Structure 1
Amino acid sequence: MRNWKNALRLLPLSLLVFFMTGCGEANLTALDPKGPQAQWIYDKMLLSLFVMIFVAAFVFAVFFIILIKFRRKPGDDTYPKQVHGSTTLEIIWTAIPILLLAILAVPTITGSFMLADTEPEGDHTVHIKVTGHQFWWQFDYEDEGFTAGQDVYIPTGEKVIFELHASDVQHSFWVPALAGKVDNVPGITNHLWLIADEPGIYKGKCTELCGPEHALMDFKVVALDRPDYDAWVAGMQAKAEDSSEVLARQGYEVFENQGCIGCHAISGAGSDLGPTLTNFGERTVVAGYLEYTDENLEAWIRDPESLKQGNNMPAYPDLSDEDMAALIAFLKSLKVNE
């Protein structure tokens, strides 16, 4: 009795945990598909769910019918008719699972070929090389000749093919609203394609435990209509222009003097050891997950290890307040869509 009372006490907490498992960030869900690949996955999830509901309902119905109809009555010592070895029943309970498996297997097999089709479609197919790092994402637009970091831009209604790599440990690339997940494995090249049906910002995650800050390895897929996408590409390809703001110009000097250019490229100038900063001023988060504010940006620059354990960015705790303000102004001025 005591065990039952303890179980009843835990029931509200268990229900709360159950419902909270469905909570999450906007767009970080496979239950609101925005592309053909995600739609296929969603449809197969529903098909599997309906098959399981049918099986469960059938089993419970048979169970309760047998429980009620064949329950032993007082004074009745007879046994019900035995069906052991019945050929008809054995055929039925063998054929039904085969049929259910066929219902699931046929669309799964045909869909697997569809999901694996990474052949270009038309002249506008976009190819993007994706490299997973601890703990950020690098997006190389090799045909266009530039690199983006953390946020990947794609045109709507067109097939985008991703070539997946990893620079250190295994990662996994997943945009639940647009496609399934595929691993980034060191030394192995995998591929993934997706199509975004409509413009929007779709959140992505690394779904392979890749280190202490695996949970903070986020990125965004920004889907734009083709004219807007072309304008963004042109902005990324353009050479960086000197800012008209005095503080931002001073910040660029700080950026160079502190050696930041040795890890972060801007408009193709610099290194790709860290995320490219060409359009950093247009991002909505810092370090992949922090709200984009001056305070968070300063905290990241001064002590990145405290915010993302295990990352490779050096700390700058001794940067003066004046230099920090100038550096932040410069970083916020880095935009390609004015």
Structure 2
Amino acid sequence: MFKKWRLMSLFAILALVLTGCGGEPFLSTLKPAGEVAEKQYYLMILSTLIMVVVVLVVSFIFIFVILKYRRSRLGNDHMPKQIEGSHKLEILWTVIPIILLLILAVPVVSDTFDLGKTKAMDKKNRDPEKTLVVNVRASLYWWEFEYPDYGIVTSQELVVPTDKRVYFKLKASDIKHSFWVPAVGGKIDTNTENENKFYLTFDDKKSKDAGGYFYGKCAELCGPSHALMDFKVKAVSKDQFQKWVNDMKHYKSKPKTDLAVQGEKLFKEKNCLSCHATQPNDNRAEAARTAPNLATFGERTRVAGVKDFNDQNIKAWLKDPESIKPGNKMTGTYPALNEQEIDALTEYLKGLKSKK
């Protein structure tokens, strides 16, 4: 008996410790940072309150009955009054759950229909400054973000304006994934056979509090590196977003050092361009975009979506991608690189920036 209690105590302490895990800011649904997230947060609070009320009422009745009708108080021969077939009680415990369900169902149905209002993104001659559409494509194990009205394609880091609805059209290129930005809203599946649509808003004040970045994840088990299929969302003001769009439209990135020039040459010789684009205006068909677009690689804050952006991690990825993301499609698709080649490619990739 003592061993069981000791084991239960260990699990209780472990559960308490695990609640403190996750050092990333604004990675929690309990810190809503947008219109959609706030609605979802409200529904979570409402459903939790209903459950708490039900548990408290049932617990009170349970304890009351045990204390009032305990055998030691009334004796072994006492028989409480039988109320089987009581119409009042049957009506009571039927009506109360119905009322509780209605209290929860009405806002859930209302918000569900509201969050499904995406007709604005289907207009043929829409104004991208008023209705921003982003095509999201999920692959093993990376994310592509296409801005069709601007002719821009990026990967791994999504850039969006704050205080404005951003409409998303989502699909997967291989198997089912799920797009989720915990602090802002979601999650929604990306399927291979159809496109899903929804919108999110990014609160400007909350974005500044979060340092301008939110974190996104894949919320559907998709393989050995599912937990590493992360991305970042850079939320900026509307003016900053338009500046970013202009920089991407006039993107010109040239190697600035001899080592970077050598790296660019290697990038072409090793046939990396057959999978990776290095220009944001990637005109290739979607099926031909089989790997992340590297146009803004030098501006990223992470390598492969999960490692801090520094020379060491870039070189580790180039040397052995499998050690960072098991099961990724880059593993084994290019010749082994020596240290000099890795140094040159690292220098070249760091110089891929839209900013002058």
Is the partner of 2:94 in helix, strand or coil? helix
Taking the aligned partners of 2:346 and 2:98, their CA distance within structure 1 comes to 63
Q: How many residue pairs end up in the alignment? A: 335
Q: Does 1:161 align with 2:167?
A: yes
Taking the aligned partners of 1:176 and 1:52, their CA distance within structure 2 comes to 23
Taking the aligned partners of 1:185 and 1:20, their CA distance within structure 2 comes to 36
Partner residue, 2:99: 99
Is the partner of 1:329 in helix, strand or coil? helix
Q: Does 1:120 align with 2:120?
A: yes
Taking the aligned partners of 2:290 and 2:82, their CA distance within structure 1 comes to 74
Equivalent AA in structure 1 for residue 277 of structure 2: A
Taking the aligned partners of 1:42 and 1:26, their CA distance within structure 2 comes to 17
Partner residue, 2:124: none
**What is the Cα deviation at residue 78 of structure 1?**
3.4
Q: Does 1:255 align with 2:261?
A: no
Is the partner of 1:131 in helix, strand or coil? strand
Taking the aligned partners of 1:19 and 1:336, their CA distance within structure 2 comes to 45
Q: Does 1:273 align with 2:272?
A: no
Is the partner of 1:212 in helix, strand or coil? coil
Is the partner of 1:82 in helix, strand or coil? coil
Give the share of equivalent positions with the same residue, in percent. Answer: 41
Taking the aligned partners of 1:307 and 1:163, their CA distance within structure 2 comes to 29
Is the partner of 1:84 in helix, strand or coil? coil
Partner residue, 1:63: 62
1:26-72 deviations in whole A, cap 9, x for unaligned?
32211101011111111111111111110111111111111112223
1:260-279 deviations in whole A, cap 9, x for unaligned?
12211112368632111111
* Residue in structure 1 matching 2:16, options 16, 19, 38: 19
Structure 1 contact 303–317 (Cα < 8 Å) conserved: no
Within a 5 Å distance, the mapping from 1:195-206 to structure 2 comes to: 195-198=201-204, 199=207, 200-206=212-218
Per the normalisation by structure 1, the TM-score is 0.93
1:286-307 deviations in whole A, cap 9, x for unaligned?
1111222212211211221232
Taking the aligned partners of 1:140 and 1:21, their CA distance within structure 2 comes to 37
* Residue in structure 2 matching 1:183, options 175, 181, 189: 189
Taking the aligned partners of 1:85 and 1:313, their CA distance within structure 2 comes to 69
Partner residue, 2:177: 171
Equivalent AA in structure 2 for residue 255 of structure 1: F
Per the normalisation by structure 2, the TM-score is 0.89
Cα distance, 1:67–1:147 mapped onto 2, change above 3 Å: same
1:56-97 deviations in whole A, cap 9, x for unaligned?
111111111111122233656332222112222221111111
Taking the aligned partners of 1:293 and 1:317, their CA distance within structure 2 comes to 23
Partner residue, 1:327: 345
1:139-175 deviations in whole A, cap 9, x for unaligned?
1111110100011110001111111111111111111
Is the partner of 1:334 in helix, strand or coil? coil
Partner residue, 1:226: 238
Equivalent AA in structure 2 for residue 90 of structure 1: E
Which segment drifts farther, 176-185 or 6-15? Answer: 6-15
Taking the aligned partners of 2:17 and 2:232, their CA distance within structure 1 comes to 23
Taking the aligned partners of 1:133 and 1:298, their CA distance within structure 2 comes to 23
Which runs of 5 or more structure 1 residues have no equivalent in the other structure? none
Q: Does 1:295 align with 2:312?
A: yes
Cα distance, 1:74–1:142 mapped onto 2, change above 3 Å: closer
Taking the aligned partners of 1:13 and 1:26, their CA distance within structure 2 comes to 28
Taking the aligned partners of 1:221 and 1:206, their CA distance within structure 2 comes to 13
Taking the aligned partners of 1:144 and 1:180, their CA distance within structure 2 comes to 25
Taking the aligned partners of 1:317 and 1:126, their CA distance within structure 2 comes to 41
